[in-house]
Amino acid sequence: MDCEVEYFLVNGYYDSAVIVDAPDEQTAKQLELAVSGTGTVTTEFQRAWDDSELEELTEEIPEP
């Protein structure tokens, strides 16, 4: 699916965290659905923005 995947074991409520770098949100969601569709894992999908995307999101917010 042309994604880079990093897998981490974590302490606390969750057993692991997976960071996926996908070409777009649709591909990332398709990967998540394929994995969770097996029924062996539960997933939580969260979108992250990199610095350039965040700058684009905030550049048109007017100053207070």
Between the CA of residue 64 and those of 8, 55, 61, what are the distances in Å?
Answer: 40, 17, 9
- Cα distances from 31 to residues 2, 8, 13, 36, 53, in angstroms, run 10, 17, 23, 9, 22
pLDDT for 34 equals 92
pLDDT at 63: 86
pTM strictly above 0.85: no
Q: Which residue shows structure tokens 């960071």? A: 19
pLDDT at 24: 92
3-state secondary structure of 1: coil
Residue 41 has pLDDT above 90, yes or no: no
